[in-house]
Amino acid sequence: MKTWGLLLVTIAFVIGTSIISVELWGQKEETIAADVQVKLQPGMTVAEFGAANALSKSLLKDFFKLENPEQLQKPITDFGLSLEQISTEINKSIALETEDASKNWLKIPLKFSLWFLFMGVCFALLIKKKMSKKRRLILYALGFTLFGVILGADPSPMGTVKDAIVLYAAKGVIFKPRLVAFSVFTLLVVLANKFICSWGCQLGTLQDFIFRLNRNSDDTGPGRWPQFKLPFVISNGIRILFFIALIWVAFAWAYDITREIDPFKIFKPLNMSLIGWCFVVGTLTLSLFVYRPWCHLCCPFGLTGWLFEKLSLFRIRVDYGKCISCLACENACPSPVMGAILRRDKTVVPDCFSCGNCLESCPTGAVSFSYGKRAKPTSGKLPG
């Protein structure tokens, strides 16, 4: 019962402290603005148009490209736009303004700064082969506590893909700060193998922490309860289908299919529905038995990150001159990826979350987290 007790304590800690954190930061509603029926009368000035439609001066300035306050008195007709054009573009502007207002612009830069610092520490530990079981567990706990409980559900790697798709499908606009965040996260993936997912993502670190609760004393295999390595063709097939469904539903009905089941809402629990609670608790419970189930089966950024990690500069590599073919690294790896990296006989290498289990378990130091391409083993070096 120890494993289950620790799971319950972890979930209770996240929920309880997240409620307090949300109250301290102040909850901002994150919804896509509904279309408004634009009111426009002949002879209206820009100022009158703004007042009639409850539009902010900053929105009017950006929309009409006003250069000074006096231009607020210019007639709308001077801008050469039809009512249909104005209505469409104003609703796009409102959507972007609403998106901007939903963000905490004090918390977001702070979160990114701490992300860089925290991941820098993790990077150094992996490079130096200092990522032990104890340090790994502590860092995962710090990861979801700092970036989830304290600093909240948003931003997240998943949101940069999922929310961008839904907003564009619904309103035909791109929220530029989200595009910047996606670019930063993707660059981190390219720099060091899927590092933002590995050590920065609040949900990813929470799942990984829970997975470790059901490991043996050396963190090299299952503990009291069995753990399963899903075949990548199955897990990635499901993830691709989920991504297609997300896009299709977003463009067909302007609806986010994760709205009710978004597991990041564990960090803002008062926003969750009954369906959401069942799904999130189920996902976290499944994390005891399957490594990062949301990341492997559903996460949109997990999918894009997997594609970009093929370009990663720093990655798990094997020195076959030192390798004694004991397969300790493959057995210790929580997913099928180490088997694919070790043998290099497959065209598709699964997601690698740079957890460091393989580094710690190798008796000869043949496995490293280092710069460069992966070598291929000599024929007959490893069993099939």
Mean pLDDT of 99-107: 92
Taking Cα atoms as reference points, which of 383, 382, 358 lies closest to residue 370?
358
Mean residue pLDDT of the chain comes to 94
Do 195 and 326 fall into the same domain?
no
Angle at 238 (CA atoms; ends 355, 259), nearest 5 degrees: 90
Confidence of residue 348 (pLDDT cuts 50, 70, 90): confident
Give the pLDDT confidence score for residue 1 in this predicted structure.
80
Whether residue 211 is contained in a domain is answered as yes
Mean pLDDT of 276-292: 98
Could you tell me which residue, 129 or 30, shows the higher pLDDT? 129
Of 58, 83, 101, the domain-final residue? 101
Q: How far apart are the first and last CA of the chain?
A: 38
Do 71 and 52 fall into the same domain?
yes
Could you tell me which residue, 79 or 301, shows the higher pLDDT? 301
Mean pLDDT of 244-266: 96
Predicted confidence (pLDDT) per residue in 197-235, tens digit:
999 999 999 999 999 999 999 999 999 999 999 999 999
> How far lies 119's CA from each of 17, 126, 140, 194, in Å?
23, 10, 11, 11
Burial 141-164 (b: 16+ CB within 10 A, else e): bbbbbbbbbbbbbbbbbbbbbbbb
Do 52 and 71 fall into the same domain?
yes
- Give the helix ranges, DSSP H, for 172-227: 176-191, 195, 202-213
Angle at 130 (CA atoms; ends 129, 133), nearest 5 degrees: 115
Q: 9 Cβ partners below 8 Å, 6+ apart?
A: none
- Which residues span the domain enclosing 67? 46-101
Whether residue 36 is contained in a domain is answered as no
Query: Does residue 265 carry a pLDDT above 80?
Result: yes
Mean pLDDT of 250-261: 96
Q: 248 Cβ partners below 8 Å, 6+ apart?
A: none
Query: Does residue 314 carry a pLDDT above 70?
Result: yes
> How far lies 113's CA from each of 42, 77, 118, 199, 287, in Å?
50, 46, 9, 14, 29
Predicted confidence (pLDDT) per residue in 28-77, tens digit:
777 888 888 888 888 899 999 999 998 998 999 989 989 998 999 999 98
Predicted confidence (pLDDT) per residue in 156-194, tens digit:
999 999 999 999 999 999 999 999 999 999 999 999 999
Rounded CA separation 83/71 (Å): 19
Whether residue 41 is contained in a domain is answered as no
Whether residue 322 is contained in a domain is answered as yes
CATH number, domain of 360, equals 3.30.70.20
Whether residue 85 is contained in a domain is answered as yes
Mean pLDDT of 364-368: 96
- Please count the structural domains in the chain: 3
Whether residue 144 is contained in a domain is answered as yes
Do 347 and 237 fall into the same domain?
no
Of 262, 280, 307, the domain-final residue? 307
Do 214 and 275 fall into the same domain?
yes
Q: At what angle do helices 157-171 and 176-191 cross, to 10 degrees?
A: 140
Query: Does residue 128 carry a pLDDT above 80?
Result: yes
Cα-trace Rg, the chain: 24
Whether residue 262 is contained in a domain is answered as yes
Rounded CA separation 93/87 (Å): 10
Do 330 and 288 fall into the same domain?
no
- Give the helix ranges, DSSP H, for the chain: 2-25, 46-52, 57-64, 83-101, 107-127, 133-144, 157-171, 176-191, 195, 202-213, 232-253, 274-286, 293-297, 300-308, 328-332, 337-343, 357-361
Burial 266-296 (b: 16+ CB within 10 A, else e): bbbbeebeeebbebbbebbebbbebbbbbbb
Give the pLDDT confidence score for residue 384 in this predicted structure.
64
Burial 82-118 (b: 16+ CB within 10 A, else e): eeeebbbbbbbbbbbbbbeeebbeebbeebbeebeeb
Q: How far is CA 352 from the centre of its chain?
A: 15
Q: 347 Cβ partners below 8 Å, 6+ apart?
A: none
> How far lies 284's CA from each of 89, 104, 264, in Å?
42, 27, 11
Whether residue 93 is contained in a domain is answered as yes
